[in-house]
């Protein structure tokens, strides 16, 4: 039931628009806004999922935290790992890059400083986070490395502490 107006020779037909609940827009506008909100939500979920995957990939891989290995007839290197410190992440990367070259000669461990075991270890050894401690086969401390920035320096320190010749 439209209303007809006649301006000159051609009539113009209009239809009344009904607004629901005084919201000021019709159902078509509502669907567009819902689609936009859905799209934004999906993008947000996608970004969060991507960040979680990246965080998971940055977690230390293949480093045991079994501190009972110290003093069990093996050379052991322990990283007190602080996942919030760049220096600790750099040390983890350096350890990961060289550990294959020391397979069978050195065990590489990483203990998280936010765990009870990590806190107890740091207290016992009187150290802070982001430190590499070197232990001989008898469990004696052979060295402590704090600021190692490259593989060559790390290799030299390990070779020297454990008497490894290349």
- Read off the pTM: 0.62
Q: How many domains does the chain have?
A: 2
Q: What are the tens digits of pLDDT across the range 95-131? A: 999 999 999 999 999 999 999 999 999 999 999 888 9
- Residue 161 and residue 144: Cα distance in Å, rounded? 10
CATH number at residue 102: 3.40.30.10
Question: CA–CA separation, 65 vs 118, rounded Å?
Answer: 9
Q: Are 11 and 41 found together in one domain? A: yes
- Shared domain for 80 and 146, answered yes or no, is yes
79 band by pLDDT with thresholds 50, 70 and 90? very high
- Shared-domain flag, residues 81 and 27: no
Q: How many CA atoms lie within 13 A of 28 on its CB side?
A: 2
| Residue 52 reports pLDDT greater than 80 | no
More confident residue, 27 or 113: 113
pLDDT at position 29: 47
Q: Is the pLDDT of residue 23 over 70?
A: no
Contact between residue 106 and residue 52 where contact means Cβ atoms under 8 Å apart: no
Last residue of a domain, one of 24, 39, 58: 58
Same domain, 31 and 102: no
32 and 86 fall within a common domain: no
Domain extent at residue 93: 67-162
Neighbouring C-alpha atoms within 13 Å toward the C-beta of 156: 6
How close are the terminal C-alpha atoms of the chain, in Å? 95
- Across the range 78-87, mean pLDDT stands at 91
């Amino acid at each position: 039931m439209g209303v007809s107006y006649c301006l000159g020779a051609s009539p113009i037909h209009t239809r009344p628009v009904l607004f629901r609940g005084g919201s000021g827009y019709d159902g078509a506008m509502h669907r567009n806004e819902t689609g936009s909100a859905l799209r934004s939500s999906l993008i947000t979920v996608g970004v969060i999922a991507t960040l979680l995957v990246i965080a998971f990939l940055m977690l230390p891989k293949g480093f045991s935290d079994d501190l009972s290995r110290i003093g069990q007839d093996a050379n052991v290197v322990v990283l007190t790992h602080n996942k919030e410190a760049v220096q600790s992440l750099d040390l983890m990367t350096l350890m990961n890059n060289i550990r294959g070259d020391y397979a069978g000669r050195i065990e590489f461990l990483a203990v998280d400083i936010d765990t009870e075991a990590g806190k107890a270890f740091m207290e016992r050894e009187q150290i802070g986070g982001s430190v590499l401690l070197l232990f001989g086969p008898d469990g004696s401390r052979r060295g402590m490395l704090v600021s190692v920035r490259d593989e060559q320096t790390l290799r030299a320190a390990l070779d020297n502490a454990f008497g490894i010749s290349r």
